[in-house]
């Protein structure tokens, strides 16, 4: 199976990855072909809560997918760590995170050995890294004294130096050695901060220039690899705080500067086969400005979901349209994202038809599955025909670690993610998990129809489950549980909700 290597850079990269994980869990797939997704998070801010949660989420996803042996449907796309796919004995950390060396508790000054430089080079460094920032203790400091363990906090000039270690890392070597013909690469980054803005062109340059790097194989594939990228423009509002290194007012100027750079070094030289732009100038409730150890505690945002959809879109582009010669895309593609109206909150019906079709059914299926698990499963397990067919979904299954910890944990995260999307500004509220079965799809209020033909209840879902499980052999309870609910929720949503 071909692979898609997703480099998620910085905080935005991590958040987009979270949305991608939710989409894949719901069964959203590219129309054509199956890809194994290999996410690689590049973020010096290792203590970031958002990163920890995303990694945890992907680990749960992996566990669920492997135990249930999902082939299609929920969790139907394989997500692997770089370590999972390497053939060599050089094992890496099995945790999705690119291990940036010498970052923890290191000032940029020490990273570049500033004190060892001769006078001329010190002067050059002073010029290149002039300016000030604010550290974790809210003290004004020189850029050279930035502590990098909370990221590059809006300083791409620092990020571009540190992230250049990418090409010399074990991760890059293993990535390059395991990159095969037919595989693709996608880079997710924001443009208005430090890590993403610097990381995207740096990583792109190193991949396209892999032929100059020694001790790796597959350079040829990398040089002409199909590469897609999304660069996320400013999309959220932030509290003004003079004591923070992150300032909303600088988002636009930083974006403009980076775009100028990209014009010559990314889009201008056709390094990327497909480049997606996304952003939102909607000025909603500002996020708390907290770049500290835990990182920006931002809720999930619709833009991150839309950005994750660009990854799916990229996978749907035919190989022929992604061809390269000497590391240059022959037919570069540039795309933007739009919705039908300037709505807030956004519902499914506000999405463009293609996007609506792509996600409405699948996200609703996972939501309906979660609703059933939360509100009905305890009453049905071990009692209904679908649950008592072998292999049984009984109390032992409900007590298993797979169900109680992993699956429930993931579904709870899905519920929280939906809630965050709906509470954010601009809000995306297509699903209300607290709603009744006939109203939980917010733009679709069900009528009971003639003689109650369209009535929906858990009893009707149970009956559909009974029908769908009849005569089907499943290898395990886990497989049965996920496959059956995928099939049944799809039928219920199509028949009763007219999807």
Partner 1 sequence: MNDAFASLFEWWGLIPFYSVGLGIHLQGYDKFCKNFNGTPWYTYIGVIMILSTLFTFALFYYIIRNPRFNRAWNWWIMALILFIINFSISFSIPYNDISSKNICPKLNVRIEDCLGFAFSVSIWSVIILMILTITPLRKGSINCRNTTFWKP
Burial class, 302, CB count within 10 angstroms (exposed 0-12 / middle 13-18 / buried 19+): buried
Report DSSP state, residue 450: G
Q: Rounded CA gap, 309 and 367, in Å?
A: 18
Q: Rounded CA gap, 303 and 231, in Å?
A: 11
Q: How far is the CB of 487 from partner 1 (least distance, A)?
A: 15
Q: Rounded CA gap, 11 and 100, in Å?
A: 15
Q: Which is nearer to partner 1, 247 or 376 (CB)?
A: 376
Q: How far is the CB of 384 from partner 1 (least distance, A)?
A: 6
Q: Which stretch binds partner 1 (CB under 8 A): 157-165, 266-274, 378-386, 406-414?
A: 378-386
Q: Is 488 in the site for partner 1 (CB under 8 A)?
A: no
The H or E element spanning position 184 is strand 184-190
Q: Rounded CA gap, 370 and 153, in Å?
A: 37
Q: Which stretch binds partner 1 (CB under 8 A): 46-54, 328-336, 407-415, 456-464?
A: 456-464
Q: Which stretch binds partner 1 (CB under 8 A): 40-48, 57-65, 72-80, 384-392?
A: 384-392
Q: Is 273 in the site for partner 1 (CB under 8 A)?
A: no
Q: Which is nearer to partner 1, 41 or 484 (CB)?
A: 484
Task: Identify any residues that bridge with 123 across adjacent strands, giving them in sequence order.
Answer: none
Q: Which is nearer to partner 1, 216 or 385 (CB)?
A: 385
Nearest CA-CA partner of 11 in 203, 189, 158, 234: 189
Q: Is 256 in the site for partner 1 (CB under 8 A)?
A: no
Q: Rounded CA gap, 211 and 423, in Å?
A: 47
Q: Is 495 in the site for partner 1 (CB under 8 A)?
A: no
Among 109, 454, 467, 491, binds partner 1 (CB under 8 A): 467
Q: Is 455 in the site for partner 1 (CB under 8 A)?
A: no
Among 388, 423, 432, 442, binds partner 1 (CB under 8 A): 388
Q: How far is the CB of 452 from partner 1 (least distance, A)?
A: 14
Residues 6+ apart with CB under 8 A from 168: none
SS3 109: helix
Q: Is 459 in the site for partner 1 (CB under 8 A)?
A: yes
Q: Is 391 in the site for partner 1 (CB under 8 A)?
A: no
Q: Is 470 in the site for partner 1 (CB under 8 A)?
A: yes
ω into 345 cis (within 30 of 0): yes
Count of positions on this chain that bind partner 1 (CB under 8 A): 12
Among 213, 385, 433, 446, binds partner 1 (CB under 8 A): 385
Alpha helices in 209-326 (DSSP H): 219-223, 249-265, 302-315
Among 406, 462, 478, 488, binds partner 1 (CB under 8 A): 462
Q: How far is the CB of 463 from partner 1 (least distance, A)?
A: 5
Label each residue of 11-49 as H, E or C. HHHHHHHHHHHHHHHHCCCCCCCCEEEEEEEECCCCCCH
Among 66, 270, 466, 476, binds partner 1 (CB under 8 A): 466
Task: Identify any residues that bridge with 107 across adjacent strands, giving them in sequence order.
Answer: 147
Contact at 8 Å (CB) between 171 and 41?
no
Q: How far is the CB of 231 from partner 1 (least distance, A)?
A: 51
Q: Which is nearer to partner 1, 117 or 472 (CB)?
A: 472
Q: How far is the CB of 7 from partner 1 (least distance, A)?
A: 48
Q: How far is the CB of 470 from partner 1 (least distance, A)?
A: 7
Q: Rounded CA gap, 497 and 257, in Å?
A: 48
Contact at 8 Å (CB) between 41 and 13?
yes
Binding mask 402-441 for partner 1 (x = CB under 8 A): ----------------------------------------
Q: Rounded CA gap, 52 and 263, in Å?
A: 34
Q: Which stretch binds partner 1 (CB under 8 A): 106-114, 130-138, 252-260, 458-466?
A: 458-466
Q: Is 463 in the site for partner 1 (CB under 8 A)?
A: yes
Residues in touch with partner 1 (CB under 8 A): 382-385, 388-389, 459, 462-463, 466-467, 470
């Amino acid at each position: 199976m071909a692979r898609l290597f997703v480099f998620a850079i910085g905080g935005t990269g991590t958040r987009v990855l979270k949305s991608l994980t939710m989409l894949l869990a719901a069964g959203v797939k590219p129309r054509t072909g199956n890809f194994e997704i290999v996410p690689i998070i590049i973020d010096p801010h290792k203590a970031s809560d958002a990163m920890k949660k995303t990694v945890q989420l992907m680990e749960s996803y992996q566990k669920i997918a492997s135990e249930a042996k999902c082939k299609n449907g929920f969790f139907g796309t394989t997500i692997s760590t770089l370590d999972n796919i390497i053939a060599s004995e050089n094992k890496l950390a099995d945790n999705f995170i690119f291990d940036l060396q010498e970052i923890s508790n290191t000032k940029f000054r020490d990273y570049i050995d500033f004190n060892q430089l001769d006078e001329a080079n010190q002067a050059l460094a002073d010029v290149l890294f002039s300016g000030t920032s604010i550290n974790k203790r809210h003290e004004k400091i020189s850029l050279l004294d930035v502590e990098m363990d909370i990221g590059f906090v809006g300083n791409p000039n620092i990020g571009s130096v540190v992230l250049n270690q990418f090409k010399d890392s074990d991760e890059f070597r293993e990535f390059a050695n395991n990159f095969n013909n037919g595989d693709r690469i996608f880079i997710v980054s924001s443009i208005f901060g430090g890590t993403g803005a610097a990381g995207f062109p740096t990583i792109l340059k190193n991949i396209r220039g892999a032929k100059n790097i020694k001790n790796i194989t597959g350079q040829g594939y990398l040089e002409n690899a199909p590469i897609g990228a999304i660069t996320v423009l400013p999309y959220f509002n932030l509290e003004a705080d003079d004591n923070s290194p992150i300032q909303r007012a600088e988002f636009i100027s930083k974006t403009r500067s980076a775009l100028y750079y990209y014009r010559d070094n990314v889009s201008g030289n056709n390094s990327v086969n497909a480049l997606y732009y996304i952003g939102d100038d909607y000025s909603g409730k500002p996020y708390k400005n907290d770049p500290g150890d835990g990182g920006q505690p931002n809720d999930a945002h619709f833009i991150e979901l839309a950005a994750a959809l660009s990854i799916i879109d990229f996978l749907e582009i035919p190989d022929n349209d992604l061809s390269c010669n000497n590391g240059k895309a022959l037919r570069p593609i540039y795309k933007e994202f739009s919705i039908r109206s300037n709505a807030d909150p956004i519902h499914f019906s506000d999405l463009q038809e293609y996007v609506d079709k792509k996600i409405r059914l699948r996200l609703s299926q996972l939501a309906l599955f979660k609703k059933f698990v939360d509100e009905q499963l305890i009453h049905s397990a071990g009692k209904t025909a679908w649950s008592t067919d072998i292999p049984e979904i009984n109390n032992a299954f409900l007590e298993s670690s797979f169900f109680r910890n992993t699956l429930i944990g993931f579904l709870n995260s899905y519920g929280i993610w939906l809630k965050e999307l709906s509470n954010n500004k601009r809000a995306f509220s297509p699903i209300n998990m607290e709603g009744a079965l006939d109203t939980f799809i917010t733009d679709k209020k069900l009528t009971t129809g003639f003689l109650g033909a369209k009535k929906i209840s858990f009893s009707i879902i149970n009956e559909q489950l009974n029908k769908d499980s009849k005569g089907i052999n499943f290898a395990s309870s886990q497989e049965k549980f996920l496959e059956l609910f995928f099939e049944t929720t799809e039928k219920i949503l199509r028949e009763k909700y007219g999807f």
